[in-house]
Amino acid sequence: MPKKGKVEIKESWCKGCEICATFCPKKILGLRNDGKMEVKDPENCIACNQCVLRCPDYAIKVEVIENND
């Protein structure tokens, strides 16, 4: 089973720059109307942590929820 993750966005720190969405290989993140990022497709997170690495505002956390490797 591949890794799965749960993305958590700290809205008060997010500035909606969309860097996380661009680097996400599964394209599960998107910009909301109020200028904050949201997880559009939580089921498809593979816990690669690219968004965590790339967010210049430290607003994203990813928790690994399943790993049967």
Partner 1 sequence: MEMEKYFRVDKLPHIWCPGCGHGSVMMSIVKGIDKMGWDPEKVTVVSGIGCSSRAPGYMNFNTLHTVHGRPIAFATGIKLANPELHVIVITGDGDGAAIGGNHLIHACRRNIGINVVLFNNQIYGMTSGQYSPMTPEGSMATTSPYGNIEPPFDLCELTRSAGANFVARGTVYHLPKLDSYIEKAFGKEGFSYVEAISQCPTYYGRRNKMKTPLEMLEWQKKNSIDIKKARDLDSEQLKGKIITGIFAERDDEEYTARYDQLIKSVQGGKE
Residues that bind partner 1 (CB under 8 A): 12-13, 15-19, 22, 53-59
Closest to partner 1 by CB, 15 vs 68, is 15
Closest to partner 1 by CB, 22 vs 67, is 22
CB of 48 to partner 1, least distance (A): 13
Q: Is 24 helix (H, G, I), strand (E, B) or coil?
A: coil
CB of 2 to partner 1, least distance (A): 22
Spatial contact of 25 and 4, defined as CB atoms under 8 Å apart: no
> Which 8-state DSSP code applies to residue 11?
T
What DSSP element (H or E) covers 22? helix 19-23
